[in-house]
Chains A and B, each alone.
Chain A
Amino acid sequence: MPASALVVREKKNYVALVGSDNHIKLTPIEIAGTDGRSIRILGGLNEGSRVALSLANTIPDGAKVNPATPPGAPVPATAAPPRRNRSRPPVRSSADADYNACVPSDHCSAIAGRFQSCGESMSNYRGIHDMGGLSAGPVEATEHDYAIWEKRVDALLVLLSKKGHITVDELRRNIESLGVDAYEKMSYYERWIYAITQTLIQRGVISVDELGRKMAEAEQTDGHQ
């Protein structure tokens, strides 16, 4: 199935099956593997099932969606249920649909981002990170103390930038290239260290082999740390 069909709620994986009445039903799935574009799943989904794509986090189980027409016909789906939240733009344009559904699920193409329609076209590519205006629910303000490893990641970026081994633009590009699942699940500094490492490999500062060996070595020395 396309990666954008993955719905992550409280660290569990689901797809939103769209019933004949256009109500969604969150159905647990088990992921066998992914190449970033598509996800191989172990059961939970029958061939030809209709699934919602790029479902916003705020859309509850059982909500009604307006499916887009089948692949190739870019028809705007309906906007999210009206929200009243003064801290953010309350309603999005109808062309900016949160979710699309299409039949059958294996006809949809999606890379790590959101497409407006289910077609094979990349004409409306929207990066996973580019979420301005999408529904995200209420903002939860919580206190957060940085862990020592998070501070180290931050310092590492400063040092590498000063030495000319990375630009913030490369950092951002590599974060944006994360698969949908990883992007949603990783914490802020996990994304950073992933992107820093990618950049250093891309630039030839470190090699994959070197990294693998060093990680194994650290695993040995530090045990569970």
Chain B
Amino acid sequence: MVTSDAVPARFSPGDRVAVRVAYPIGHVRTPYYIRGKQGVVERLCGTYGNPEELAYARSGLPRQPLYRVRFRQDEVWPAYSGNRDDTVDIEIFQHWLEPA
């Protein structure tokens, strides 16, 4: 559901994206290990209040698009020894993503 209190979606399924490299203190839902990695948008999950704001009892508005992004395991973990085609899906808010 996208209403006027939501930021418009910037990416579509299939888009290649890079996770921003940033290490702010505060409440951050983007895992440390995925920052700086590149993946492909698998789907738009919807728009949700921004947890970085909600964590401090603020409104979390405007809502942010949340994407499920698929990463290759052997790109996330350089010494990955599992199946070459293994992937990991991580749900990441739009403001943590850049086009790649």
Contacts and interface: CB of A to CB of B under 8 A. Distances in A.
Interface in A148-200: 167, 169-170, 172-173, 176, 199
B64 to A, nearest CB: 13
Contact of A170 (B33, B55, B82): B55
Given A126-B32, A167-B54, A173 B27 contact: yes
A124 B22 CA distance: 8
Contacts of A113: 25
Contacts of A94: 78
B27 A125 contact: no
B73 A89 contact: yes
Interface string A86-100: 100111111010000
A202 B57 CA distance: 9
A133 interface: yes
A203 interface: yes
A74 B18 CA distance: 24
B33 to A, nearest CB: 4
A94 B73 CA distance: 16
Contacts of B27: 169, 172-173, 176
B56 A133 contact: no
Contact of B55 (A124, A133, A167): A167
Dominant secondary structure at the B interface: loop
Given A132-B31, A170-B55, A89 B77 contact: yes
Interface in B68-94: 73, 76-82
Given A124-B23, A172-B27, A130 B79 contact: no
Chain B residues touching A, range: 20 to 34
Nearest to B80: A89
A167 to B, nearest CB: 5
B40 to A, nearest CB: 19
Contacts of B28: 127, 130
Given A89-B77, A91-B77, A130-B32, A125 B24 contact: yes
A122 interface: yes
B51 interface: yes
Given A170-B57, A173-B56, A122 B77 contact: no
A130 B31 contact: yes
A90 B79 CA distance: 8
A167 B51 CA distance: 9
B23 A122 contact: yes
Interface string B1-45: 000000000000000000000011111100111100000000000
26 contacts: A86-B82, A89-B73, A89-B76, A89-B77, A89-B80, A90-B79, A90-B80, A90-B82, A91-B77, A91-B78, A91-B79, A93-B79, A94-B78, A96-B33, A111-B25, A123-B23, A125-B23, A126-B32, A127-B25, A132-B33, A167-B54, A167-B57, A169-B60, A170-B56, A173-B27, A199-B57
Interface of B: 23-28, 31-34, 51, 54-57, 60, 73, 76-82
A-B complex: 5 closest residue pairs judged by Cβ atoms: A91-B79, A173-B55, A169-B54, A169-B55, A173-B27
